[in-house]
Amino acid sequence: MAKVRAKDIIETFGLELVSGEEGVDRPITTSDLSRPGLEVAGFFDYYPAERVQLLGKTELSFFERLGDSDRKIRMEKLCADVTPAIIITRDLEVPAELIEASERCAVPVLKSDMKTTRLSSRLTNYLEGKLAPTTAVHGVLVDIYGVGVLITGKSGVGKSETALELVKRGHRLVADDCVEIRQEDTDTLIGSSPELIEHLLEIRGLGIINVMTLFGAGAVRTHKRITLIVDLEIWDKTKHYDRVGLDEEKMKIIDTEVTKLTIPVRPGRNLAVIIEVAAMNYRLKRMGVNAAEQFTNRLAGAIQDGDE
């Protein structure tokens, strides 16, 4: 099922449908747009027909200088089988040759009163958000002091209970159980909750609670950028856990690597406080303050002084 169709951009941007109504269900498969200036001039060797085409003042001013036969041929070539839509900007008059070709090929021709560059910018942002790669992860996403922390771990390890304690401490829940993640840029992951379970938290023995109803609108968020992953696992006495914090583990989601911390779970450990401090320490590291490195440098200096 296509994520975006031509009719979606008509509704979103309030565009006027001029012709080619039969093609409004054509899928849009790329966020790249095309301003077919070279194509209007007759060079179609590298025509990106699968993109939404924008015709502005420059393209149409040149088009008006062409002869009748050239005008007809150029518009027929613009209306390819895979072209999702052609948009006329600045509320300019739509050429009759384009209307005729679009009706024959079922390519929707749309009209906007916005400037070409402005529409191009807004439409690109919209399509990038809609067509971004997506995945789903089992875990809990919480906004802690502005840091999007994805809490993962096996079922029953205490993720939801920890999230509840974090919410009580003033932080905000984004998603519980299933976190939908989309990659909006090469290094930007945005997490959100499926609509069905939005604002809900499942606590074993208690059931499902509505966080927004219990704690107010300030206790929830609709989406948040993921910058830190905290993996909870049952304490394994045979495993070595990082006690200094020099080593930084990474976890790859889609094409983006995110800093990952592994926190062992055992009775008596306050996981909410540990994760809260982990988020604050992550912010400090991003600001250039690394306590582990400072300690290591002081230790190395002390050893050197002792040797002397």
- Angle between the N-to-C axes of helices 6-13 and 116-130, in degrees from 0 to 180, rounded to the nearest 10: 120
Residue 248: other Cβ atoms inside 10 A: 12
Determine the Cα–Cα distance for residues 49 and 30; give it in Å rounded to an integer: 11
Is 159 among the catalytic positions? yes
Which residue type occupies 231?
D
* 168 labelled ligand-binding: no
Is 171 among the catalytic positions? no
* 155 labelled ligand-binding: yes
Provide the 3-class DSSP secondary structure of residue 280. helix
Catalytic residue among 138, 168, 169, 266: 138
* 120 labelled ligand-binding: no
Q: Are 199 and 220 in contact (CB under 8 A)?
A: yes
* 154 labelled ligand-binding: yes
Catalytic residue among 72, 77, 130, 177: 177
* 224 labelled ligand-binding: no
Determine the Cα–Cα distance for residues 62 and 66; give it in Å rounded to an integer: 7
Catalytic residue among 243, 247, 305, 307: 243
In order of 4, 6, 143, 227, the CA distances from 190 in angstroms are: 19, 25, 12, 9
Is 8 among the catalytic positions? no
Catalytic residue among 51, 71, 74, 159: 159
Is 138 among the catalytic positions? yes
* 237 labelled ligand-binding: no
* 160 labelled ligand-binding: yes
* 202 labelled ligand-binding: yes
Which pairing describes strands 228-234 and 147-153: parallel, antiparallel, or unpaired? parallel
- Token pair belonging to 136: 């789903």
* 158 labelled ligand-binding: yes
> Which residues are annotated as part of the binding site for ATP?
153-160
Active site members: 138, 159, 177, 243
> Which residues are annotated as part of the binding site?
153-160, 202
